[in-house]
Amino acid sequence: MNEHLNTNSSLDALINSGFLNQDLIEEQYALYKQNPSQVDPSWRPVFASLENEKFNDSISQAPFPQQNESSALYQPYVAVASTSPDYRIAHLVEAYRTFGHLAAKTNPLDSNSSSTEEIEQLRLENFGFTKNDLSNSFPSHGFTKNPTAPLNEILNELKATYSGCIGVEYMGLHSPDLEFWLQRQIEHKDYTATLSVEQKQTILQHLNKSELFESFIHTKYVGQKRFSLEGSETLIPMLAAMIDTGAGLGIEEYYIGMSHRGRLNVLANIFDKSYSDIFSEFEEGYVPASVEGSGDVKYHKGFYSQIKSIHGHNVSLTLTPNPSHLESVDPVVEGQTYSRQVLRGDDVTKDKIAPILIHGDAAISGQGIVYETMQLCNLDGYATGGTIHFIINNQIGFTTIPRDSRSTTYCSDIAKIFRAPIFHVNAEDPEDCVFVTNLAIEMRQRFHCDVFIELVCYRKYGHNETDEPAFTQPIKYKIIRDKKPIREIYRDALIRQGILNKDVIAAMETEFKSSLQQAMNTKNSVVKIHSDTDELSASEKNEELFQRVETGVPKDILKEIGTRLCQVPEGFVLHPKLAVLLRERLAMVKDVDSKHSIDWGMGELLAYGSLLWNGTSVRLSGQDSCRGTFSHRHALLVNQANEQGYIPLKNLKQGQGRFDVYNSPLSEYSVLGFEFGYSIAAPEALVLWEAQFGDFSNCAQVIIDQYIATSEQKWSQKTSLTLLLPHGYEGQGPEHSSARIERFLSLAGDSNMLIVNPTTPAQFFHLLRRQILRPLRKPLIVFTPKGLLRHPACVSRLEEFTKGTFQEIIDDPNPPKRTKRLMLCSGRIYYNLIEERERLAVDDASIVRIEQLYPLNVERLKEIIGRCSTLKECVWVQEEPSNMGAWNFIRQILRDLLPKSVELTYVGRMRSASPAAGSHAAHKREHAAILSSLFGTKDPLMYDTYGNLKA
């Protein structure tokens, strides 16, 4: 604190009032003391009054004004009201800057919105003024041309600036530079006066496109859903302005996420998707051309286009496809953007690639994913340098009105947590809408913050065009039906102002309408065009899926990588236990003896290291992933002396691939969505998301169901995103045992993803490498170990890493001469089975591991069954209850493969609601029962075909 401004000063009172930012005031005050001309004129009277008056006294001794009824509880200005007029005016200005938005005329459906007098925080009496003061002159703080002006005039300017068609929330963002900059833009620019005729014409042209496009479809395709933008048409001139202004400020690529509302309009009028293509999709019998799997409805599909900005810059636009699940696309867009920034080297300045999210008012208020996504906005490894958020606030969500859909004042209030500036703007004032849009993108480029624009509008029809809104909102919809379209309001205003004449406007409309009609005439009645992949036979597809790629790595390279993984820089103080660990890891790659075979942690690091070695990028994020939840990874080493980190995988050699590892925030939904987005924009990279325990992946179920499992089928969107989901029944209770294998298997179809439960470090190594070295791009779900991380038998010799590839099914390494029983299993229980077989000297049972559950390598399984010529029984053994795990998935396949004479049985836990027992003792009992039942040491447990224990 400046020594002159000690803690008892009146300036402190100003600061404590909450209206002014301390750093900003001090900075300005220091400048003022050097020379008053150095500060903005609006500050000068404030500082002048500080210098000249003894405020300490006047504030502390001021008599308490009489409470009037309306301000009985609200008293922040009582001290102010008794101080000098200059100071009170300064406070009034601050009050408008802070609360003016509460009286802003932003709602096109509410011509009686609150006047400033009705807003408690703005009442003149609170500042010690009465109506009699309105004609008295006061310092105008730059709000009028003259340094002083009648209060009335100052008030009018304040209202026009802060309570007009734009409401702005920006005070107290803890970003003095941003606040000051924005203040200047808002207070010192007569924006609309500076708009050229061409610019106004452009706005009108975009409104024409926006509205006439909708009304054209409305008449041509009666009763078809399109989720019209009518009532919020201004979005189109706003988006156009954003793209143009942003392009002028260096943005070359935009990634856009939005829901149904207005999506077709955006595709047509922003992305330049041809009108005829859009119309074709409305035709009866439309089947998409090309490789689109089972496809998706027209208002969910993505699009990419390259357009030229109004000033001739090339801009590429990507509209990310999304499911119905509102707001779920938000993290995906952020991930895509970030990934592109990394790929194009824009991840430091983040000036070239920007995300735009377009929300609905009900969805942004209700969906937690918005918060989870916003939480990424300033984090290393996730921050995209500022997102522009548009909220189409049509004041309804399906049939639900704001009073029922949120507890917050504004639907944009989430922005406040993240200190993002917010504009509320009336959609019926397109020039103000474009003004705030331009400010928003400039702010993003200057300050790299998120910015919110709430476009306050209405919805002309029901939720969709077949929906009757008057069932539930009869009065509101009467008002809406009587409304003049925004385009006409603006058009008439331009005519009134003499800016455009009627003929020019009519010509613009006619031209646009005829282009729509022309597109209608030339639309295709599309029938399915067969693509190459349609022609592929099932066996050819299988070949691709089970194609063997050599994933071994020469021993000398592995040794070199392994050695570097175990080195730290000079003077780096390792935790003593990690020093031991690194020594052990070094011994593993040196292959000194069989005691030092490679364990899971080292196998995983070698997989990453070897991919990086050859230039592939690897990114891993998840909760506590740097160390690893189970302390097995230690990808990040921390210097015990100074907490500086060192990541050996980043330091393998010159020219290696990029390695990123991040401890993510405690969110599954947004982080997995982000990684999905990252992976689709970086198909050559190995991108992994790790759940803390596999159980928690269901917090991200929307991303799994709607994106990972189906994106290729719906949107031809391919990804090799890899999920690491710790899974295993080890007595830790219902919530730390199951990654829900059954859920993933229930999503499996059309070879949409790979579902794998590997049992050895070498298998995991080859699996991760195969994921990238094969051209096939499929999501990979890996059930990863917990206890096996340190199980002495769960190790692999160095040789196993130097040759071969991932095996989908591992046959018994020591099959008996005559196999009577074939024990099939997947995952960690294998180790119990071989132990028990050995202990009991069972000599007629083969134990076979299904490492990849989906797609199942049926040919390999047939071969194995074929070698067991004496087979009597095939048992599926699993740890999970019978309604979980792989049993329900695999039973029919096995039945079909096995000869009729061979009995198929199930051994595992009973059907259960909860995935696992709560007590360790119960777990052990159940586990023992599985083994004894399997090996017949006790009476076998008898299950019916649903896995229920028979009485």
Ligand X SMILES: Cc1ncc(C[n+]2csc(CCOP(=O)(O)OP(=O)(O)O)c2C)c(N)n1
**Residues 251 to 280 in contact with ligand X, rule: CB under 6 A:** 261
Cα 887 from Cα 745, distance rounded (Å): 10
Annotate each residue in 750-789 with x if it binds ligand X (CB under 6 A) or - if it does not, as one string.
----------------------------------------
Q: How far is CA 723 from the centre of its chain?
A: 17
**Residues 839 to 858 in contact with ligand X, rule: CB under 6 A:** none
Nearer to ligand X, 395 or 717 (CB): 395
Token pair belonging to 336: 């895509």
Nearer to ligand X, 374 or 809 (CB): 374
Contacts of 659 (CB under 8 A, 6+ apart): 608, 612, 617, 618, 619, 647, 649, 650
Nearer to ligand X, 101 or 359 (CB): 359
Minimum CB–partner distance for residue 718 and ligand X (Å): 25
**Residues 285 to 344 in contact with ligand X, rule: CB under 6 A:** 324-326
Contacts of 315 (CB under 8 A, 6+ apart): 243, 246, 247, 251, 252, 253, 254, 306, 307, 308, 309
Q: How far is CA 742 from the centre of its chain?
A: 26
Minimum CB–partner distance for residue 702 and ligand X (Å): 8
Does 441 sit near ligand X (CB under 6 A)?
no
- Residue number of the CB atom closest to ligand X: 360
Under a CB-based contact definition with an 8 Å cutoff, are residues 464 and 229 in contact? no
User: Residues in contact with ligand X, total (CB under 6 A)?
Assistant: 15
Cα 836 from Cα 843, distance rounded (Å): 12
Minimum CB–partner distance for residue 379 and ligand X (Å): 24
Picking from 239, 255, 361, the residue whose alpha carbon sits closest to that of residue 302 is 255
Which of 187, 361, 812, 879 forms a contact with ligand X (CB under 6 A)? 361
Cα 207 from Cα 106, distance rounded (Å): 19
Does 360 sit near ligand X (CB under 6 A)?
yes
Nearer to ligand X, 153 or 361 (CB): 361
Minimum CB–partner distance for residue 418 and ligand X (Å): 20
**Residues 606 to 645 in contact with ligand X, rule: CB under 6 A:** none
Minimum CB–partner distance for residue 368 and ligand X (Å): 10
- Strand positions, DSSP E, 140-297: 148-150, 166-169, 253-258
- Give the up-direction half-sphere exposure of residue 732: CA atoms within 13 A in the CB hemisphere: 14
Query: Is 195 in a helix, a strand, or coil?
Result: coil
Nearer to ligand X, 326 or 700 (CB): 326
353-360 and 388-393 beta bridge pairing: parallel
Nearer to ligand X, 211 or 808 (CB): 211
Under a CB-based contact definition with an 8 Å cutoff, are residues 842 and 833 in contact? no
Minimum CB–partner distance for residue 691 and ligand X (Å): 22
**Residues 449 to 508 in contact with ligand X, rule: CB under 6 A:** 459, 463
Nearer to ligand X, 325 or 911 (CB): 325
Nearer to ligand X, 367 or 738 (CB): 367
Token pair belonging to 548: 């063997």
Which alpha helices (DSSP H) does 566-658 contain, by range?
576-590, 600-613
Minimum CB–partner distance for residue 234 and ligand X (Å): 14
Minimum CB–partner distance for residue 370 and ligand X (Å): 11
Annotate each residue in 540-579 with x if it binds ligand X (CB under 6 A) or - if it does not, as one string.
----------------------------------------
Bridge partner residues of 725 (DSSP) = 783
The label of the residue with tokens 């969107």 reads 717
Dmax over CA atoms of the chain, in Å, equals: 109
**Residues 375 to 404 in contact with ligand X, rule: CB under 6 A:** 392, 394, 396-398
Which of 251, 363, 561, 703 forms a contact with ligand X (CB under 6 A)? 363
Minimum CB–partner distance for residue 257 and ligand X (Å): 13
Picking from 87, 81, 193, the residue whose alpha carbon sits closest to that of residue 141 is 87
Minimum CB–partner distance for residue 363 and ligand X (Å): 3
Minimum CB–partner distance for residue 700 and ligand X (Å): 14
Under a CB-based contact definition with an 8 Å cutoff, are residues 411 and 361 in contact? yes
Minimum CB–partner distance for residue 328 and ligand X (Å): 7
Nearer to ligand X, 486 or 767 (CB): 486
**Residues 877 to 936 in contact with ligand X, rule: CB under 6 A:** none
Return the range that interacts with ligand X (CB under 6 A); candidates 33-41, 361-369, 618-626, 940-948.
361-369
Neighbours of 813 (CB within 10 A): 8
Nearer to ligand X, 230 or 347 (CB): 230
Minimum CB–partner distance for residue 412 and ligand X (Å): 13
Contacts of 359 (CB under 8 A, 6+ apart): 259, 327, 370, 389, 390, 391, 392
Under a CB-based contact definition with an 8 Å cutoff, are residues 796 and 603 in contact? yes
Nearer to ligand X, 398 or 572 (CB): 398
Minimum CB–partner distance for residue 904 and ligand X (Å): 41
Neighbours of 575 (CB within 10 A): 13
- Residue 624 zone, left/alpha/beta (φ > 0; ψ -120 to 50; rest): left
Token pair belonging to 273: 């998707």
Nearer to ligand X, 366 or 787 (CB): 366
Token pair belonging to 778: 């499929």
Nearer to ligand X, 406 or 769 (CB): 406
**CA trace torsion 125, 128, 133, 136 (10° rounding):** -140
Minimum CB–partner distance for residue 676 and ligand X (Å): 17
Minimum CB–partner distance for residue 362 and ligand X (Å): 3
Minimum CB–partner distance for residue 300 and ligand X (Å): 10
Nearer to ligand X, 361 or 428 (CB): 361
Neighbours of 774 (CB within 10 A): 18
- Give the up-direction half-sphere exposure of residue 801: CA atoms within 13 A in the CB hemisphere: 37
Nearer to ligand X, 261 or 821 (CB): 261
Cα 246 from Cα 437, distance rounded (Å): 10
- Give the up-direction half-sphere exposure of residue 437: CA atoms within 13 A in the CB hemisphere: 27
For residue 658, what are the CA distances in angstroms to 533, 616, 653, 688?
33, 7, 11, 14
Which alpha helices (DSSP H) does 591-692 contain, by range?
600-613, 669-681
Nearer to ligand X, 154 or 326 (CB): 326
Q: How far is CA 831 from the centre of its chain?
A: 39
Does 362 sit near ligand X (CB under 6 A)?
yes
Under a CB-based contact definition with an 8 Å cutoff, are residues 754 and 852 in contact? yes
Nearer to ligand X, 394 or 784 (CB): 394
State the residues that interact with ligand X by CB under 6 A: 261, 324-326, 360-363, 392, 394, 396-398, 459, 463
